[in-house]
Amino acid sequence: MKIVADSDVPFLKGVLEPYGEVVYKKGPEITSEDVRDADALILRTRTRCNAALLDGSKVRLIATATIGTDHVDFDYCNSHGIEVHNAAGCNAGGVMQYVFSALYGVAARKGIKIDGGTIGIVGVGNVGRKVQKMAEYLGFNVLCCDPPRAEAEGPEGFCPLEYLLENSQVVTMHVPLDETTRNMANEAFFALMSPGSIFINASRGEVMDEAALKQALPKLGACVIDTWNNEPNVDVDLVDMVDIATPHIAGYSFQGKQMGTAMAVRAVAHHFGIEALYDFFPEDEPDHEPVLLDLHGKNHGQIAAVFQYNYPIFTDDFRFRMEPDKFEKLRSEYQYRREVYVE
């Protein structure tokens, strides 16, 4: 068995070597020649899995250690007998932590009162549910827009996008990237948002029209962007214009990365019958255990301080602003933070 793996997938080296040959390369540098005689790929979003990469190869399994799958051509894989697994939900806790560290941080910095406000969650899957739980715990009113869930489960608990945008003080994006969501946050979207409201995108860059966002920024109270069009070649002008800018690291928690790699390894193990790895999980490390928060009775400033203590998001913002051209380097060398949670 031969496996080609993105060298930036954490906790992976040494795990599969007893069972076959493992070749590590940077994700964007993996070529069709590299995968020609490979049986499986373990990747991140930086490797485009399409005909150009896979034609003529032996690949029968792609395991991506990410929730996103927009880098995979499913039509091609399905027609060529290639099984695809992603790590759905692995980074949900990390993204939730990012959202609230950013929200309370930028609100405190700009003097925006958010106590008792309304948070609109666009996309209420694994990540959106975590955001919803924390928002309700903190006493926010919550509006949810998720047409696929509303169709499957019934309309109760969901609202149309237009209503959400008009009635939310905070709008946070947690949709997958597909043809129904590409450029969702466009000129019409921002026109419906209330003046002074806060926009957060920690889903995929291409769900927003960056030109429309630039035009809308004077109207918004604050803007937080973690995911960008054309990564890693981001619009430096937009980086300078928003209130918090980070290099697609919202989900980069220690627990999220453990789970992402675990799910990828388990997919390989089950496909090839490696029973010893069916329940694989990377070893824990000291001082990385998730932190249980008790925020009951705390005021806005105290809550902001707790979130910043556990994740000082402005440090990531500063580093990215200093070197926006080092997008991939900042990601690959990122020091994973431990997650927070509430009961």
Active site residues: 204, 231, 248
Neighbours of 286 (CB within 10 A): 5
Task: Look up residue 117 and give its DSSP letter.
Answer: -
Rounded CA-CA distance 114/134 in Å is 14
Instruction: Tell me the three state secondary structure of residue 72.
Output: strand
Rounded CA-CA distance 134/172 in Å is 13
CB 206 within 8 A of CB 68: no
- Listed in sequence order, the residues at least 6 apart from 125 whose beta carbon sits closer than 8 Å to its beta carbon are 89, 146, 149, 174, 176
- Listed in sequence order, the residues at least 6 apart from 54 whose beta carbon sits closer than 8 Å to its beta carbon are 32, 35, 76, 77, 80, 82
3-state SS, 268-326, equals HHHHHCCHHHCCCCCCCCCCCCCEECCCCCCCHHHHHHHHHHHCCHHHHHHHHHHCHHH
- Listed in sequence order, the residues at least 6 apart from 307 whose beta carbon sits closer than 8 Å to its beta carbon are 97, 100, 101, 104, 105, 340
Residues 68, 206, 153: CA angle, nearest 5 degrees: 55
Residue 278, φ and ψ in degrees, nearest 5: -60, -35
Largest CA distance in the chain: 61
Beta strands 118-122 and 141-145 are parallel
At 187, which helix (H) or strand (E)?
Answer: helix 187-192
Give the residue from 273, 210, 254, 197 showing the smallest Cα distance to 236.
Answer: 210
